[in-house]
Amino acid sequence: MDTLMDLGGGFASALEPVSLAFALLGVLLGTVVGVLPGIGPISAIAILIPVSFGMEPVHGLILLCGIYYGSMYGGSITATLIKTPGEVASAVTAIEGYEMARRGRGKAALATAAIGSFLAGTLAIIGLTFLSPVLVKLANVFGATEYFLLMATALLLASTMSAGSRAKALISIFIGLAVGLIGLDFQTGLPRQTFGMDLLSDGIDFTIFAMALFAIPEAIRNLALGRGAKDEIQSFGNDKWMTKEDWQRSAGPWARGSVVGFIIGILPGVGPSLASFMSYIMEKRISKRKDEFGHGAIEGVAGPEAANNAGVGGAMIPLFSLGIPGSATTALLLFVFTMYGLQPGPLIFRDETGLIWTIIASMYIGNIALIILNLPLVGVFVKLLKMPKEILFSSILVLVVIGAYAIEFSLFGLMMLGIFGVIGYLMEKGGIPLAPAILALVLVPLLEDNFRRMLQISGGSFAPLVTRPVSLSIIILMVAGIVGPIVFRWWVSRRKLLTDVTVG
């Protein structure tokens, strides 16, 4: 009852004209930020931190939080329409969303993304409101060992993200791992795979890598076809809204993506990016239409988009309740809290009750504003696809180049964009899937960091892998997941052989 009373007080403050204006401005800016490649919520919040100095703490935090969850949906727009992820968590949406758009299903893809984002975001905020204390205790059970095993499991599952040869999927994973290891060793400070170039000391930016692998090969392929590309994309712009079947196929992924995203978002240091990949992998594994994945399966858009928005709400739980950032963006928000003289943690709900509940209430309002703002604009966004192909794909290249330059304002970023663009094109020509490389790059720092922490805590011993109950359970599930399908296929083939012999 106290929670409902506090939330009611938060709504009273959040519905004041000034607070409402900042919430609406935040989600609007977040959508724009998500659409523009190379910007992302981290850069936008970093740019606006000096502006927020002169604001009331509650208004500044409402604005920056709105940008965070608004960008989650904005990134899906360009990922779907032009295969250019505007935000890290939207990279997986480009796999199925773009294929849907190519087949005249752009409206359905954007609609399922918008509705899934709204439902998942709302459920995540409800979870943030009522389940924070319980879920924070659960998250504390996970140490470096469990995080390492979770990342390793995700990496093993990455080979199932794409149809075709598992060997080629593993090649893609190793490419992502190799790129992720470029830069300075975060513990020793020694350079790795920099080839003596100081410019590589900071590593390869994820956004440049994702844009290079997804957007550039697609643009090159369509521009190289010349007028023949007209047949390739002739269904662009002939879109229909979500059908009854689309609603039925999206409902399950929305629900599952919300749960997966929320749980992964709670884990400190993980964030919504991994949630969207894990949701995609899960939907592909349980789907009865596995052959559609990679060719425009609506489940591959609905689940990941729900997951990355639910991950935002989940990431707020360790931030508000423990003062621990759940992602790079929430780390910036933690800095903003301290800038205002506030310290997130258990005491903030007691000492700053009005402020924290106003922020939570504004997230409910902002989530409603997002669906009202974006759902009617789906048709407008899809009209982009009616542009002549030469203008459309040339504009994509220009947009990607500007986005890559805006990340560090360096020509070196453009060089990396070109190099990885060529690598992505060659991967596509060779039938090597792109998505596993993207996921591997996301996981490298988390995997390495937690592996080293595990060894440091245990004095170089691997014993925690089997002595900790949670980690042992994860290992058992991993082994079952690898061995189980092999045994099942052997059993089915043996039964079939026995049946054939009997019939013969």
184 in helix, strand or coil? Answer: strand
* Residue the block writes with tokens 């007080």: 9
55 in helix, strand or coil? Answer: coil
Structure confidence at residue 36 (pLDDT): 67
Q: Is the pLDDT of residue 236 over 60?
A: no
Tokens of 324: 């621990």
**Could you state, in order of their start, the residue ranges of all structural domains in the chain?**
1-454, 468-503
pLDDT band at 228 (very low <50, low <70, confident <90, very high): very low
Report the residue count for the chain. Answer: 504
Cα(201)–Cα(193) distance, integer angstroms: 9
Cα(34)–Cα(78) distance, integer angstroms: 8
pLDDT band at 235 (very low <50, low <70, confident <90, very high): very low
| pTM, two decimal places | 0.69
The predicted model gives 488-493 an average pLDDT of 70
Cβ(72)–Cβ(309) under 8 Å?
yes
Average per-residue pLDDT in the chain? 78
DSSP string, 409-443: S-HHHHHHHHHHHHHHHHHHHTT--SHHHHHHHHH
Structure confidence at residue 254 (pLDDT): 92
Cβ(276)–Cβ(288) under 8 Å?
no
Q: Is the pLDDT of residue 325 over 70?
A: no
Cβ(52)–Cβ(12) under 8 Å?
no
Contacts of 238 (CB under 8 A, 6+ apart): 104
Cβ(325)–Cβ(319) under 8 Å?
yes
3-state secondary structure 247-260: HHHHHHHHHHHHHH
Neighbours of 195 (CB within 10 A): 7
Q: Is the pLDDT of residue 234 over 60?
A: no
Q: Is the pLDDT of residue 229 over 50?
A: no
CA 457 to chain centre: 30
Cβ(358)–Cβ(14) under 8 Å?
yes
The 10s digit of each residue's pLDDT in 83-140 is 777 666 677 888 888 888 888 788 888 888 888 888 888 888 888 888 766 665 666 6
Structure confidence at residue 226 (pLDDT): 57
The 10s digit of each residue's pLDDT in 433-485 is 877 887 788 778 878 888 888 888 888 888 888 888 888 888 887 787 677 66
H or E element, residue 191: strand 191-192
* Residue the block writes with tokens 């390739």: 232
The 10s digit of each residue's pLDDT in 27-38 is 888 887 777 665
Cβ(321)–Cβ(136) under 8 Å?
yes
| Beta pairing partners, 192 | 183
Cβ(107)–Cβ(379) under 8 Å?
yes
| Cα first-last separation, the chain | 72
At position 241, the amino acid (one-letter code) is W
Of 249 and 49, which is predicted with more confidence?
249
Q: Helix %, strand %, coil % for the chain, to 5?
A: 80, 0, 20
The 10s digit of each residue's pLDDT in 358-382 is 888 888 888 888 888 777 776 666 6
What letter does residue 192 receive in the DSSP assignment? Answer: E
Cα(504)–Cα(499) distance, integer angstroms: 8
Cα(449)–Cα(432) distance, integer angstroms: 28
Cβ(236)–Cβ(104) under 8 Å?
yes
What are the φ and ψ backbone dihedral angles of 248, each rounded to 5 degrees? -65, -40
Closest by alpha carbon to 278, among 360, 155, 137? Answer: 155
What letter does residue 236 receive in the DSSP assignment? Answer: T
Cα(471)–Cα(467) distance, integer angstroms: 8
The predicted model gives 50-63 an average pLDDT of 82
Percent of the chain topping pLDDT 90: 1
The 10s digit of each residue's pLDDT in 271-284 is 667 788 888 888 88
The 10s digit of each residue's pLDDT in 165-180 is 778 888 888 888 888 8
375 in helix, strand or coil? Answer: coil
Closest by alpha carbon to 301, among 71, 87, 116, 69? Answer: 116
Cα(128)–Cα(3) distance, integer angstroms: 11
What's the Cα-to-Cα distance from 74 to each of 36, 177, 267, 319, rounded to whole Å?
8, 28, 24, 23
Percent of the chain topping pLDDT 70: 81
* Residue the block writes with tokens 């439902």: 119
Structure confidence at residue 147 (pLDDT): 78
What letter does residue 158 receive in the DSSP assignment? Answer: G
